[in-house]
Chains A and B, each alone.
Chain A
Amino acid sequence: DTAVSQTPKYLVTQMGNDKSIKCEQNLGHDTMYWYKQDSKKFLKIMFSYNNKELIINETVPNRFSPKSPDKAHLNLHINSLELGDSAVYFCASSSHAPSATHQPQHFGDGTRLSIL
């Protein structure tokens, strides 16, 4: 009954590989996010999706591409992995009403990506 679930929890791979991280939420939220948390614990927004539309895209390399097959899923694909991609990636979701007070985001447990 986990609200926001990510798979895998750990991912160890070599430079140059392509990998995907999956995220699913069962909260009925309409907006999902991906964050990157570096070794200093700094959480930075990468993407968010609302109603299948990308609405935030920070200065993230185009090797990273979010894919949302439906409102409950937002997967993160990473091509040509680099050493600097090593981090913990968090998925989150929230309900989004533009004219109303926003709701807190709920986070998944994170995926620790290690590049060898």
Chain B
Amino acid sequence: EDKVVQSPLSLVVHEGDTVTLNCSYEVTNFRSLLWYKQEKKAPTFLFMLTSSGIEKKSGRLSSILDKKELFSILNITATQTGDSAVYLCAVVADGNNNDMRFGAGTRLTVKP
């Protein structure tokens, strides 16, 4: 069965810190990995990664995929209180009609 494991499950940091969130996966016929940020309501899309070694960046957030070691990391530099959220990792496999398998999420709390 496909598995997506995120770590840590929760993380508390102070503003200005840099954090790294991890996502490892086991999936047959991997197609892509996605990161979402969930605050109070809908998960919002951050990144989609399909190729190894290519970093995606958006402001202070960046992410990279390692298809050999089957994991991805999400980095947030100079964290702000507005980064506090649950960060969800999901994988999509070929032949599953875009079905996303989510990890349990990492709850990030950024203190002032």
- Footprint of B on A, CB under 8 Å? 4, 31, 40-45, 48, 50, 55-56, 90, 94, 96, 98, 101-110
> 22 pairs across A/B with beta carbons < 8 Å?
A4-B42, A41-B104, A42-B104, A43-B43, A43-B88, A43-B105, A45-B99, A45-B100, A45-B101, A48-B97, A56-B96, A90-B43, A101-B31, A101-B32, A102-B31, A103-B98, A104-B45, A106-B45, A107-B36, A107-B44, A108-B42, A109-B42
Q: Separation in Å of the A62 CB from the closest CB of chain B? A: 20
Instruction: Using known A-B contacts A41-B107, A42-B105, A101-B50, determine if residue A94 contacts B43 with beta carbons closer than 8 Å.
Output: no
Determine whether the beta carbon of B42 is less than 8 Å from that of A107: yes
Q: How far is A108 from B43 in the complex, measured between Cα atoms in Å?
A: 8
- Using a CB-CB cutoff of 8 Å, which residues 28-43 of chain B contact chain A? 31-32, 34, 36, 38, 41-43
